[in-house]
Amino acid sequence: MTQHSNQHPATFAFDAVIFDLDGVITKTALVHSAAWKKMFDEFLADWSQRTGNPYVEFTHKADYLPYVDGKPRYKGVADFLESRGISLPMGDPSDAPDAETVCGLGNRKNHAFNEVLERDGVEVYPSTVQLMKDLRQRGIRVGVASSSKNCEVVLKAAGLMPLVETRIDGVVSAELGLKGKPEADIFTTAATRLGCSFDRSVVVEDAVSGVQAGRKGNFGLVLGVAREENHRELYENGADRVVDDLSEVNLQWLNDWFTEGVTNDQWSISYFDYDPAKERSREALLTTGNGYFGTRGAIEESAANAVNYPGTYMAGMYNRLITKIAGRDVDNEDFVNLPNWLHISFSIDQGEWFDINNTRILSISRTLDFRNGLLERRLIVEDTSGRQTKLVSQRTVSMQNLTLAALNYSITPLNYAGKIAIRSGLNGRLINEGVERYKSLSSKHLEPVKEGVENGILFLLVKTNESNHHIAQAANHSLFLNNKPLQPEYVISQQEGYIAATASVSLQAGQTIRLEKIVSVCSDKEDFIDDALTSAMDCASKPLTFQKILDESSLAWSKLWQKMDVQIEGDRMSQKLLRLHLFHLLASVSPINSKLDASITARGLHGEAYRGHIFWDELFILPLYDLHLPDVARSLLMYRYRRLARAREYAKAHGYKGAMFPWQSGSDGREETQVVHLNPLTGEWGDDHSSLQRHVSLAIAYNVWDYFWITGDKEFLKRFGAELFFEICRFWASKAVLNKQTTRYEISGVMGPDEFHEHAPGVETGGLKDNTYTNIMVAWMLGKATNIAGLCGNEVVSKTGFSTEEIDQWGDIAGKLNLVINADGILAQYDGYFDLKELDWDYYRRQYGNIYRMDRILKAEGKSPDAYKVAKQADTLMAFYNLDKAEVDEIVGKLGYQLPDDYLQRNLDYYLARTSHGSTLSRVVHARLAAIAGKPGLSLSLYNDALGSDYVDIQGGTTGEGIHAGVMAGTILIALNTFAGLNYRGEQLRLTPQLPENWQKLSFSASFKGVEYQFIITKTTVSVKASQSGILFVAGKPQSVHSGQWLSITYQ
């Protein structure tokens, strides 16, 4: 964003600016630093003399900035003492300055600060004061938020009180019980007192803890002032923009951010540091893809190591290997990591090849633009000789051409001249090693077939060593000096499974060499590719440039965003994260997938977790595609249909009729779940019952109906969907057993979504009896079979091998399934659940903090989670996520049970208190249920946790193994079906909006039964436009909408 003139717009896009005090308005930060140093040096010298520990002085850079700056006084004392391993009692704020307590030391520092203040007065930053005056003159609200308890005294001494409309300082914080920085309390309280929304307010801070607070508060602009030459640290910790002084800022500059800058920010994610501990998760979140293949956002110059993990994955590309472990053959199908097409690096004057992990990074930024799938990295590094080099890379995977990717890579020596060697290639010498817990399994899936150079194009052909799929990559290179084409002489490096070309160019300081690398990735797994190598070479041989590929891909992305985008006003972080989720879903499954025999993996095309298998997560994913990209949704259902024969075999092998789909599915539809697991402590094998999650078949049946109902695709239902649905019905009918004593049907030997419970306590046989979620969904499904039979007619029913008599029998089962309900109206997760022990949740939270994986905690204590009322995720309550409460009420009523009017509220309270959210999907489900139960605050809190779960890697490293596709889709659907209140389960669309408090507007598109709708929802109105005239309901009232015309409805 460039500097602008002082011309002001008639109206502003922001309402308030909240300033920190020390270091932003006044130069008291240096006084504070000096006072802290005086106090701590005296204390440390005395402490050293008394304890014998070495004396190490308190310094501005090593101690003041990281531990004290910007924080409340006593927290600063505590954090610094902790850094030195010194433990003192907290004491009380009334402690005398000579008291050896945390509060006493804080008061001692304050005494020293006040002495200096009285002696020298207060010096201000003139540019800040001028900006405050300009803001007030133009009607922009001004506040001050500071941790200092001296804030009022300082402002009065500086004569600034008339400019400040609200002041939240250490004194006010203590009165209100506000948390100090890096929590956002003082800033959010200031904005609230000014009557301004956070998204239209600015936070101005010079401290790391301050910009962290501004980011947590989700403010419209977090502006860092780098008084300490700490630009990078401020960017890393949440500043949107960083300046040296506020003389660089005026009202036009601020307004431009709110009209342009924040919009651009909501279309991207950026990282301004290189943190080895976070690099794997960032690689996943910076993945680019098109549905056919995806490439992790790994550093181009890196190979697989403890920090970095380059990975390229192709939809449906699996390979099966046998591993001998502890005397047993373990059959394992993996999601194959394909050859690394990013492979590129450079060296200076024949020195070592560049290594990101062995260099000094002066600056780094990485930005993924959701609008066009462009990943850009800017990097300035310095080697041990002091030579500084600027590196810029751009990459994209084409959304227009399924096999194409492109890389643009430039090198600029900044302070030296030398010979630069640039090497680029294709590397197939790799194994699957992206998930630590799989490393005991055989992982070499690729065998080299052929590599070489033809007509200047590098090529590499490998094959999977069991599934025998050939994968080819071809790379065409163009080299430029200051954007003028070069014809260098390449030196070829060729080894088995590896091919690279190196060019050397002498550069002066400031000159730039740029390499364009156009890559084609093909596999003969697809019916439309006869020969992978020929196809790859043909594609790479075309006259393509990086810019042409990017432009065409950008156009394809633009068309997708027109259909898929969800726009929010009032919550910039939710907007960014929803687009992050949409981007990664489309990178995993896009219109390109309509050509493929593949489904969406639980972890996208982003990593190797769950070995790239397909689970029940499609329950959370397909409705989104039903509403926006029905052809893609159909292709994902066809993946299941093509594996129907395998599901029939699976059911038959277990003594059942119909089709029993596997919990984990891969290449051919067999069960990929391990049925035993090795105890690493004892070396013994034990049963693994997770394959008993037969509810995956219910998810498939649900998606068949949902797809038909939303799209109206009757042709699919007749040709494929009905058969798929009926076979699943037949399986569950054969699994339901009539109890002659109760005259009810019971279903045993299953697990629900809660994986903490595999069997009843003390029982070795796996599975549970009468899981409520399973039985309700089976009743729903068997009841729907009659509807499908009626829609398709007897000819289709008999053609698929079913009879009306059999379907009638299913109806009988649907009305007699067993549920276990206690006197309070609580639906038992399964028969026997109420006999389990209660858990002391407060104890475990105090003891462990993070209790997401309570199963592991209990097992480590020698206990079994099967014995306790503890759930990994929503189980019983999942029925209310899938179905309207009215549908569940009807099912329960037909089963002959009566429940209290508030039973959903009771069940939500009961199970939420007993759920550890070990699966991120849990928060998605509970967020929706809390809204249904009339708890908007709880709903939003759970939703925000789910929305940020991959972005912040809430589970501590799992995002690095792949995104959580089900959660990403679920958060988007919650925005639509919960917050917008979009209900598509009836004959007409219904909207009952309940926007979160800080969401001012929500806009999106959706398709229902072939009609395209556009919606704009505010706190009081719904505006809708449809491609055909018709009726929809808003807040329970019918509304007539006319084709192509906007209709605005006030709903409250």
Q: Is 27 exposed, middle or buried (0-12, 13-18, 19+ CB in 10 A)?
A: middle
- The predicted-structure confidence for 218-246, as pLDDT tens digits, reads as follows 999 999 999 988 999 999 999 999 999 99
Whether residue 920 contacts residue 967, with contact meaning beta carbons closer than 8 Å, is answered with yes
Query: Which residues have C-beta within 8 Å of that of residue 752, sequence separation ≥ 6?
Result: 693, 695, 768, 771, 772, 773, 774, 829, 830, 875, 876, 878
Work out whether strand 288-289 and strand 268-271 pair parallel, antiparallel, or are unpaired: unpaired
Residue 228, pLDDT score: 85
DSSP bridge pairs for 345: 423
- State residue 475 phi and psi, 5-degree precision: -130, 125
Phi/psi region, residue 604 (left: phi>0; alpha: psi -120 to 50; beta: rest), is left
Contacts made by residues 453-459, CB under 8 angstroms, sequence distance 24+: 453/492, 453/494, 453/499, 453/501, 454/537, 455/541, 457/537, 457/540, 457/541, 458/424, 458/425, 458/426, 458/499, 458/500, 458/501, 459/426, 459/499, 459/533, 459/536, 459/537, 459/540
Query: CA nearest 148: which of 191, 114, 115?
Result: 114
C-alpha distances (whole Å) from 315 to each of 494, 624, 872, 909 are 28, 19, 29, 40
Please give the Cα distance from 917 to 919 (Å, whole number): 5
Q: Tokens for 226?
A: 């780098």
**What is the distance of C-alpha 236 from the center of its chain?**
19
Q: What is the residue-wise DSSP string for 66-101?
A: IIITTS-HHHHHHHHHHHTT-------TT--TTSSS
In the numeric block, the tokens 């409705």 are attached to 623
Please give the Cα distance from 448 to 466 (Å, whole number): 13
Residues of the chain with pLDDT under 50: 1-5
- The predicted-structure confidence for 313-358, as pLDDT tens digits, reads as follows 999 999 999 999 988 999 999 999 999 999 999 999 999 999 999 9
**What is the distance of C-alpha 669 from the center of its chain?**
28
Whether residue 594 contacts residue 947, with contact meaning beta carbons closer than 8 Å, is answered with no
- For residue 328, the tally of other CB atoms under 10 A from its CB is 10
**Orientation angle between helical segments 28-51 and 102-120, nearest 10 degrees:** 140
C-alpha distances (whole Å) from 201 to each of 143, 222, 254 are 10, 9, 10
| Domains, the chain, with CATH or none | 16-25+123-263 (3.40.50.1000), 28-120 (1.10.150), 292-310+340-427+446-562 (2.70.98.40), 643-916 (1.50.10.10), 980-1052 (2.60.420.10)
Query: Which residues have C-beta within 8 Å of that of residue 630, sequence separation ≥ 6?
Result: 707, 710, 711, 713, 1007
Please give the Cα distance from 563 to 122 (Å, whole number): 57
The b/e string for 576-585 (b: 16+ C-beta within 10 A; e otherwise) is: bbbbbbbbbb
Q: Tokens for 792?
A: 């398709």
Whether residue 428 contacts residue 448, with contact meaning beta carbons closer than 8 Å, is answered with yes
Query: CA nearest 629: which of 597, 665, 582, 667?
Result: 582
Q: What angle do CA 533, 537, 541 make, to 5 degrees?
A: 175
Element (H, E) at 926: helix 921-932
Query: Which residues have C-beta within 8 Å of that of residue 613, sequence separation ≥ 6?
Result: 333, 335, 601, 602, 664, 665, 666, 672
Whether residue 596 contacts residue 526, with contact meaning beta carbons closer than 8 Å, is answered with yes
In the numeric block, the tokens 């009843």 are attached to 760
Residue 714, pLDDT score: 97
Residue 111, pLDDT score: 84
Please give the Cα distance from 725 to 807 (Å, whole number): 12
Residue 182: is the preceding peptide bond cis (ω within 30°)? Answer: yes
Residues known to be catalytic: 755
Residue 33, pLDDT score: 80
Residue 1, pLDDT score: 43
- For residue 385, the tally of other CB atoms under 10 A from its CB is 11
Q: Is 655 exposed, middle or buried (0-12, 13-18, 19+ CB in 10 A)?
A: exposed
Whether residue 654 contacts residue 766, with contact meaning beta carbons closer than 8 Å, is answered with no
This prediction's pTM: 0.93
Q: What is the residue-wise DSSP string for 560-629?
A: HHHHH--EEES-HHHHHHHHHHHHHHHHHS-GGGGGSS----TTTTS--GGGG-B-TTHHHHHHHHHHH-
**What is the distance of C-alpha 482 from the center of its chain?**
39
Query: CA nearest 373: which of 585, 516, 677?
Result: 585
- State residue 35 phi and psi, 5-degree precision: -65, -40
Residue 7, pLDDT score: 55
